[in-house]
Amino acid sequence: MSVGYQKRLGIGIVGLGMVAGTHARALAELRDRIEVRAVFARDEARRENFANEHGLAAIVSLDALLDQPGLDAILLLTPPNARFDIIRAAALRGIHVLTEKPLGRNSDEAREIVALCEGAGVTLGVVFQHRFRAASIALKQLADSGELGRMALVQVSVPWWRPQSYYDEPGRGTYARDGGGVLISQAIHTLDLMLSVTGPVAEVSAIAGTSLLHDMEAEDFVGAGLRFVNGAFGVLTATTAAFPGGTESIAITFERGQARLEGGRLTVTGMDGSRREVGEAASTGGGADPMAFPHDWHRDLISDFAAAIAERRQPAVSGREALKVHELIDALILSSRQKRTIALGETSTQDI
């Protein structure tokens, strides 16, 4: 992607969630394009330790960060329940926002955030870094090209594992803090990537719940049948109860072959006997260590966000683009609760 920077983008880090170290490493490789102005988190000790570890400046309040001269954007790494007010404060100052997923705890909150940023004229991006893997890009190009013909069947699997200690952290796996369980916190990455390749889902029929392996409020398992707008059928399984945890996958069968994306590797098998591979196997945090993944996908996403600001265009994963996966998640949960097939666009947060 072309990058038209005239100056380094001034960015501030707000919040120090689990993925903060990954973002810090990504930003370090972009220092010729992006200047990290400061980092703010409410926990003083954590803030100071993180700043010292990564050679960054710490700042004592959100207002002090947002009022800094030369601050163009924030990278928001707080839990989902803390984001709305921060995004509003930034947007009203004309500061662009790149936020970790999910955009909101539900679709209504996500739509409100999109409207807020669009009304303020600021760029809103969401961290769906799986789109930036070489194999993911190759899969989308393959589907768009029509090389293997029409899409017939989509199989999505997210067989992850989280120990109970993961959910023992206050708020984790709750609707009040996270907005839900495995769908919105883990499988959302794979579902977003799927939608970017397949196009929209027309309807879903799902079952969701909490297995006996976890004590948590929201779901740790979802199984669903999908029908896509393009006529393809699909099946989804997503869980954090699949010990010891495996690699998520998207397998798409076309008229003339199959494309299977597993982790960072794409395997394309033609019905004519041809076979080729793109990318390399890579850990994606499917096991007990949720941070077992590289930082280069985050680097490329942040780079695209900075370029979008400079070039006055939407980033590859804009806030409005992120609404699509939120609406799919809402439909899956509503289908399970009402024990019926749900058409996309039929749901609203009050139904769930």
Angle of helix 188-198 relative to helix 134-145, nearest 10 degrees? 30
Pick out the chain residues at pLDDT < 70. Answer: 1-6, 281-293, 346-352
Burial class (CB in 10 A: 0-12, 13-18, 19+), 33: middle
Residue 3: its pLDDT value, please?
40
Residue 1: its pLDDT value, please?
34
Q: Global pTM? A: 0.92
| Contact (Cβ atoms closer than 8 angstroms) between residue 8 and residue 19 | no
Domains and CATH numbers, the chain: 9-128+296-318 (3.40.50.720), 131-292+325-351 (3.30.360.10)
Residue 294: its pLDDT value, please?
78
Residue 280: its pLDDT value, please?
80
Long-range contacts of 292-298 (CB under 8 A, 24+ apart): 293/22, 295/22, 295/23, 295/25, 295/26, 295/29, 296/26, 297/129, 297/130, 297/132, 297/133, 298/19, 298/22, 298/23, 298/26, 298/127, 298/129
The rounded distance, in Å, linking the Cα atoms of 292 and 331 is 30
Residue 5: its pLDDT value, please?
42
Residue 348: its pLDDT value, please?
54
For 149-167, what is each residue's pLDDT tens digit? 999 999 999 999 999 999 9
